[in-house]
Amino acid sequence: MKAVGLHPDVFVVTSRIWQTTCTLVKSGDEAFCVDSPVLPDELELLPAVASQAEFRVVGCLATHADWDHLLGRYAFADAPLGLAESSAARLRNEPGAAQRQLREFDEEHYVERPGPLTLPGAQALPVPGHCSLGERELELHPGDGHTADGMALWVPWASVLACGDYLSPVEIPWISPGGSVSAYLATLARLEPLVEQASFVVPGHGAVLDSSRALAILGEDRSYLTALLERGSDAPLPLARRNGAMRKIHAENVERVGSPPTAAGS
């Protein structure tokens, strides 16, 4: 796990698995943990890292309800969990799904954890909206498309955007069950003006980006999704993300989107 400071009130840690990011945001003497690293030793170390940086974590937030973003309470067991209303509804409608998927990951990779994942009483946050932190507020923006739920968080006093599983330099747009290309494109359109203002963009997976690099990835992702609708399996992958793992994701996307429309008379 590596940590990098973006602002006196924001730092990001990155997991050794899937380059999953976790953003800690502070205002005054209160801090939130946004998303989570994945491995048990990383989660065990996270409170000490936060304490050393003088971040007193009083709550956990998750950009969406995929299991690898929900592990913050392993690190901060007493911190309440906040989610977009859509993500809280997903957890209610899919009881035990995150825990099962985590268990499958752990069994496959021989990972041992101190106990099962518990997600009691997640607080549903209205999105779009705001979330108070100390004397300031985070902005919450809808972030569906990758999944049916989610939010992106804008830290206005630090000009930092934590956007969940969008704008990744290592992963192509992934249309998961419940997601959709149209919703994904709508999320990219909502994120674009924030990316233009941002000093830093924190994707859910991959290195922290500056504004220009994030805008370039946004353009690549928009082009890929448009081609996916028009050309299906023939849609070209972004040049820097053409590897075996991304081709598997592309194949899943093609299966979920279906065949592109055929021209009349062809």
**What is the mean pLDDT of the segment spanning 17-21?**
96
pLDDT at 108: 95
Is the pLDDT at 125 greater than 50? The verdict is yes
Per the DSSP assignment, residues forming a β-bridge with 32 are 25, 59
Fold type of domain 2-257: Metallo-beta-lactamase; Chain A (3.60.15)
Task: Report how far Cα 47 is from the mean position of its chain's Cα atoms.
Answer: 21
Q: Binning pLDDT at 50, 70 and 90, where does residue 106 land?
A: very high
Question: Are the C-beta atoms of 50 and 31 separated by less than 8 Å?
Answer: yes
CA dist., res. 89 & res. 164, Å (int): 18
CA dist., res. 72 & res. 69, Å (int): 8
Q: What is the pLDDT of residues 138-147, one digit of tens each?
A: 999 999 999 9
**What is the mean pLDDT of the segment spanning 28-54?**
95
Query: Would strands 129-133 and 136-142 be described as parallel, antiparallel, or unpaired?
Result: antiparallel
CA dist., res. 5 & res. 7, Å (int): 6
**What is the mean pLDDT of the segment spanning 185-208?**
97
φ and ψ at residue 176, rounded to 5 degrees: -80, 170
Per the DSSP assignment, residues forming a β-bridge with 59 are 32
Q: What is the pLDDT of residues 60-92, one digit of tens each?
A: 999 999 999 999 999 999 999 999 999 999 999
pTM: 0.92
Q: Which residue shows structure tokens 């400071």?
A: 5
Q: What is the pLDDT of residues 201-249, one digit of tens each?
A: 999 999 999 999 999 999 999 999 999 999 999 999 999 999 999 999 9
Round the average pLDDT of the chain to a whole number and report it. 94
pLDDT at 261: 56
Over pLDDT 90: what percentage of the chain?
91
Question: Are the C-beta atoms of 163 and 201 separated by less than 8 Å?
Answer: yes
Question: Are the C-beta atoms of 195 and 161 separated by less than 8 Å?
Answer: yes
Q: Binning pLDDT at 50, 70 and 90, where does residue 259 land?
A: low
Q: Which two tokens stand for residue 111?
A: 């990972």
Is the pLDDT at 129 greater than 50? The verdict is yes
Residue type, 8: P
Question: Are the C-beta atoms of 73 and 79 separated by less than 8 Å?
Answer: yes
Is the pLDDT at 265 greater than 50? The verdict is no
Q: What is the pLDDT of residues 148-162, one digit of tens each?
A: 999 999 999 999 999
Is the pLDDT at 266 greater than 60? The verdict is no
